[in-house]
A and B are shown apart, each in its own frame.
Chain A
Amino acid sequence: MKTNKDKSELMELKHDPVPGYKGIFSVVFTVSLLYMAFILFQPCF
């Protein structure tokens, strides 16, 4: 088997956004924050 050592090396491995997921992330992040706030301000704390 051969390796591809001669292949040019990446300087940066970017993670390009998939369309539509930024919105999903915002919704999930907001819900998570609200959920965490609800948990943290329970009387047992």
Chain B
Amino acid sequence: MTNSILPALIFMIGGFMIPFFRGRAKSIYMMLIPVVGFINLINIPMGDHFLMNFSDFKLVLLHIDRLSLLFGYIYHIIALITVIYILNFKNDVEYVAGFFYAGAALGAVYAGDLFSFFIFWEMLTIGSVMLIWARKTKSAQASGLRYLLVHAFGGLVLLAGIVLHFTETGSLEMLKLTLSGPGSYLIFVGIGINCAWPVLHPWLTDAYPEATIGGTVFLSAFTTKTAVYALARLFPGTEALIWIGVAMAAFPIFYAVIENDLRRVLAYSLINQVGFMVVGIGIGTELSINGACAHAFNDILFKGLLFMSMGAVLYRTGKINATDLGGLYKSMPWTALFCCVGAASISAFPLFSGFVSKSMVMEAAASGSHLAGQKSYVVVWLVLLFASAGVFHHAGIKIPFFAFFGHDAGHRVKEAPLNMLIAMGIAAFLCIFIGTYPKPLYNLLPFAVDYHPYTISHVLSQTELLFFSALAFTLLLLSGIYPAEIRALNVDADWIYRKTGKALYRIFDAVLNPLNAWCERIVRGVAGSTADFFKDAGAKISLFVAVNIWLLAGYRDKHLEIKKQKLYNDILQGTLPAGIGAAVTITFILLIYVLI
């Protein structure tokens, strides 16, 4: 047992206290939360802590090893950077949601059993949806709802998998699984939804660009990386992941090139980068797992930096489409510079962070492993090479070019606020620091590292790749072949959902609505007739008895009509003489008695 605090709780409880602070005290308090969390984390020894008995299960809320520690460190770092970035927004909903979300991510990576993992996994969804809804636009609300539906479904798949796995094995431990039974497959797919696997990914490109400016930075860091962590923990060396990762790395390139919304371009780019990590986990060697984890660490920084720079552009201009931007380097030179650092890092330029991590995955793919044939890896390596060129094309060139250079859209705005510049500056510094001196990062990786990124052949081959990608972009642009940026919504795999959804709507409209109307007619008809009858049932029965008596007594025509009308009104209005009322009641009871 340790004297420390559960890392997730520092963020969650700390986050809920934010609204009680005001002014400068609030800013200082918010920055202190990740700092205190980090100090707390480095004082916790390796191993299992915070053990709990829940029903018949033994839950481990804090499992610390090299893998979880790496993700824990970067989550604290990016939380601090993002908090500095959003200090000027004064939006308590965003603050609380951001800390809750970061706390949930920490809880998930430190969970030592599948049940605790699932609980924090679901909290991730709640935090992220709040960050999307915090923007308070109509499209953000719709996107948030779609996000919630997809992740609720993913959570159910994961839960079903955990339950089946427990039934099959009797274990809830977070250990390596093999794809052998329905439980493991469901866990695999449940994690895959959060990892934005192809076809399961539209929630990401739909929702991330709709979140608040700071919310998108938070979102880019936690959900997909926690899924990458879960895959590295539960499914290392699963060959299916290699091909899933290859598809993830390749397909977003095409959509990113034609996309007009620059935050959506980065969302596609996020899927592309996670693809590299998934390939690394799928290969399953020490080098590839190290590469996947190192790239996750770096991606959180450089993708966060890119989202921050685009957020600053959106904050100052109110625009994020390529069609509306351009020439901003004159007004926002520091933001442009930091964006270029992020672009160079994601493109894996030598001396920038992406270079020292992506190359590990590429190297692992090129050298092969014991799990698959060399031939397969050549194909994987080639596709990853193609994807690397694509990344440079859409994230390395397109983002800075269309936002800060390119055609001048005429925006003359202020530079980003100081807190935003400081946050971007820290991220940019880390990107360059890790790129030039990767040893501290390598020391944090799950396995011992014997890898040197700065070999002549590696530097030359990467520079060659980048040079030819830049040449391709320039020639495509100058020759007029480069596709125009169009103000439109590009539909990719969500076409399936949209078409299926419409088809289902039409089917339900054609079948269920007539059935519903038919049932309603029946119910209304029966109920209406019954109600009509019982509205004056007493009067009708009484008249039936009385009229026969009056006929026997000789009443006819007009006289009989007057008596009938009077009796009917008296019964309805309750003004019947007591004797007659009693007689009618007794008659009625007798009638019922005889009938029964």
- A residues adjacent to B (C-beta < 8 A): 1-5, 7, 9-18, 21-22, 24-25, 28, 32, 45
Residues of B near A17 (CB, < 8 A) are 478-481
CB distance from B40 to the nearest CB of A (A): 44
The chain B residue sitting closest to A28, CB to CB, is B475
**How far, in Å, is A36 (CB) from chain B's closest CB?**
10
Q: Which residues of A contact B407 (CB under 8 A)?
A: 13
Contact call A12/B487, Cβ cutoff below 8 A: yes
Q: Across the interface, do A24 and B479 meet the contact criterion of CB distance under 8 Å?
A: yes
**B contact residues around A45 at 8 Å (CB):** 378
Q: Which listed residue, B323, B410, B413, B414, touches A11 by the CB 8 Å rule?
A: B323
Q: Which of B256-291 contact A (CB under 8 A)?
A: 260
SS class, residues of chain A in contact with chain B: loop
Cβ of B173 < 8 Å from any Cβ of A? Answer: no
Interface residues on B, range: 20 to 34
Which residues of the partner chain B approach A32 to less than 8 Å between Cβ atoms?
A: 468
In the assembled complex, B484 has its CB within 8 A of some CB on chain A: yes
Establish whether residues A12 and B485, one from each chain, have CB atoms under 8 Å apart when the complex forms.
yes
The answer, yes or no, to whether B171 is at the interface (CB within 8 Å) is no
Point out the residue from A11, A14, A18 that lies within 8 Å of B478, measured CB to CB: A18
Residues of B that sit less than 8 Å from A by CB:
260, 316-318, 322-324, 331, 378, 402, 407, 409-414, 468, 471, 475-482, 484-487
Check if A4 sits within 8 Å of B411, measured CB to CB: yes
Q: Known contacts being A3-B318, A10-B323, is A15 close to B378, with CB within 8 Å?
A: no
| Contact A3 to B478, CB < 8 A, known contacts A9-B324, A13-B323 | no
Given the known A-B contacts A21-B475, A21-B478, are A1 and B412 also in contact in the complex, defined by CB atoms under 8 Å?
A: yes
A3-B411 in contact (CB<8A): yes
Contact yes or no, A12 B484, CB < 8 A: yes
Contacting pair A5 B318 (CB below 8 A): yes
Specify the chain A residue showing the minimal Cβ separation from B326: A13
Query: CB distance A12 to B478 under 8 Å?
Result: no
Contact A1 B414 (CB under 8 A): yes
Q: Give chain A residues whose Cβ lies under 8 Å from the Cβ of B482.
A: 15
Let me know if B477 and A15 touch, CB within 8 A: yes
Partner of B324, one of A2, A10, A22, A24: A10
Q: Which residue of B lies closest to A7 (CB)?
A: B410
Question: With A and B bound together, what is the CA distance between A25 and B318 in angstroms?
Answer: 36
On whether the beta carbons of A12 and B479 are closer than 8 Å, the reply is no
Assess whether A1 is in contact with B480, with CB atoms less than 8 Å apart: no
Other CB < 8 Å A-B pairs besides A11-B487, A17-B480, 8 of them? A9-B324, A10-B323, A12-B484, A13-B484, A18-B478, A22-B479, A22-B481, A24-B478
Complex CA distance for A10 and B319, rounded to whole angstroms: 12
Question: Which of B260, B477, B479, B482 counts the most A-chain CB atoms under 10 A from its CB?
Answer: B479
* CB of B465, distance to nearest CB on chain A (Å): 13
Cβ contacts under 8 Å, B480 to chain A: 15-18, 21-22
Q: Considering the complex of A and B, which 7 residue pairs feature the smallest CB-CB distances, nearest first?
A: A17-B480, A21-B478, A25-B479, A13-B485, A10-B323, A21-B479, A13-B323
B266 to chain A, nearest CB (A): 18
A38 to chain B, nearest CB (A): 15
Query: Shortest beta-carbon distance, A22 to chain B, in Å?
Result: 5
A25 proximity list for chain B (CB < 8 A): 475-476, 478-479, 481
A2 to B414, CA, bound (A): 9
